[in-house]
Structure 1
């Protein structure tokens, strides 16, 4: 398990991290209405400045939506960068707001079934996707259920300390993806862990399963955790609604028999569920990730 630990020093190498922490605190103090207004010019700035990431998003969207017109795909790219800009503020709200202030941001649907599973002493692996409002979703979930999270360690010791300190203020525990034995123990003890496995860490840790009709390296860790712990595997997806300016975390039914299927079948099933959600809010997916980097043997590189 990860603890926030001792506050890092102010040595020169940590100054960029401390500057980022200060900016997060400043952003968190802004009125939300003003923050949403500021997210629009920020979106234009990062769309212009993140040329490489923009190219990745364009490539992903072109392959995942081949029937769309170029104008439709370009609109989605710009909407995606708007969501990514808003995520900067969403992270600040999640890490700095009080429970009272945060309470009005959204709701959780479907938590009752998960609570019942936990009451029976069985662990729950809640799987989600890399969506722009994932940080908001994690905190909303923790308001309803005793949730722990699996995270990827950060390069900055200051930002990692601040991230874990902030998340542990409302979450049960944080588990590094480098310490999956901790996740196994936690699930075996009947805990709830949420996990976003939709990243490409190479074919050695993955099987290829369809995602938007493309063979996609899909981490086997999800299937392995279910098989080793007997936990329930439950999809969970947060989404932002532009009209109401609120968030909804939708918890789907348990994936019965997930651990009994082959990794290819189980993960193909999970990818199909993720794809179905992404299609409802495509602008909120992290298209800037090189999701299709690993390719089956003999297939041409996906990214030029």
Structure 2
């Protein structure tokens, strides 16, 4: 049954307003490009990725600083290589998003495989909800489509400011989800988990000081980490299952599903955040070049602490 809590795409005449014509044209070009053979798509993405640092300098500095903060013992030359590879992945990700939203199931299956799917199958078979940790890999959109074709779930959703992109995004994501739900709709997420649904959830970004605690993340000892995970686990009682969507050098995508996390510390928010961040670290290390390092993960600092970012990226 559809409720007011569930979000679906709705086409209206307002989406045809002239102010959206350029958006529609861009989507049309994007759609045509993702119909090309995959090797060409990859090369286009690689070229775009190498161009991004030249036109988005602040983002490059953010990513560089994140890598330095998280991997201080890594030789600078190695970090710079990872940074370059990360921007290539960023460019490819733009096309992978189109692949996730527009490719047929048949074409997706040709380029993908799932490992560890039995963990999800077992939990759902037992009627237990699954909180699926959709960590912010650049391949996440495509990974969600790959896994969602087998296990459609409930997507946690942030609307796009552009109404046309919001419509296209919803249409695309509903190819692998039963319905979408607002990211602040905690009650709706808990209800879905109690009903034995699979709910996509990404607790790895800095969501600000509200409802957050500071816990270690890689080499950063105080990273703002949401307490929302504890609320969902305490009230929804789901299995917590991380997964990693990884792009291979051969153009194949492997979605690796990890075993359910055990012994989640419900009674201590800092211990819970530390536990979750460690689980996220383990997944990131499976494909660190493909993680979203462009996000200012350490923007929120404890009161009185200095910013971890230089002035040139403060307005990033």
- TM-score by length of structure 2 reads 0.91
Instruction: Tell me the secondary structure at the aligned position of residue 280 of structure 1.
Output: coil
1:131 is matched with 137
2:111 alignment counterpart: 105
C-alpha distance 293-157 of structure 1, shift in aligned 2 (>3 A): same
In 1: Cα distance, 2:29 partner to 2:234 partner: 42
SS at match of 2:254: strand
Aligned to 1:238, which of 245, 248, 254?
245
Deviates more, 1:83-92 or 1:38-47: 38-47
The counterpart of 2:81, out of the listed 68, 75, 79, is 75
Deviation track 1:189-219 (CA, whole Å, cap 9, x = no partner) reads 1100111121112111211111112111111
Residues 74-125 of structure 1: per-residue CA shift (max 9 Å, x gap): 1111110000011011111111111111111211111212222112222110
Q: After TM superposition, give the deviation of residue 141 of structure 1 in Å.
A: 0.7
Shift of 1:177: 0.5
Q: Residue 90 of structure 2 corresponds to which residue in structure 1?
A: 84
Q: Secondary structure of 2:149's partner?
A: helix
Following TM superposition, the consecutive aligned residue runs of length 4 or more in structure 1 with deviations greater than 4 angstroms are: none
Task: Give the 3-state SS of the residue equivalent to 1:172 in structure 2.
Answer: strand
In structure 1, list runs of 5 or more residues that go unmatched: none
Q: Which residue of 1 aligns with 2:11?
A: 6
Report whether the alignment pairs 1:280 with 2:286. yes
| 1:207 match: secondary structure | strand
- In the other structure, the counterpart of 1:190 is 196
Could you say what the CA RMSD is over the residues aligned between the two structures, in angstroms? 1.6
Structure 1 Cα separation of the partners of residues 29 and 182 of structure 2? 25
Aligned to 2:59: 53
Q: Distance in 1 between matches of 2:64 and 2:82?
A: 9
2:43 aligns to what?
A: 37
Deviation per residue, 1:43-83 (Å, 9 max, x gap)? 22112111110010011111112122222221111110000
SS in 1 for 2:297: coil
Judge conservation of contact 1:111–1:145 (CA < 8 Å) in 2: no
Q: Superposed, which structure 2 residues align to 1:166-205 within 5 Å?
A: 166-205=172-211
Using the alignment, how far apart are the partners of 2:71 and 2:151 within structure 1? 36
Contact 1:20/1:159 (<8 A) preserved: no
Name 1:290's counterpart in structure 2.
296
Count of residues paired in the alignment: 303
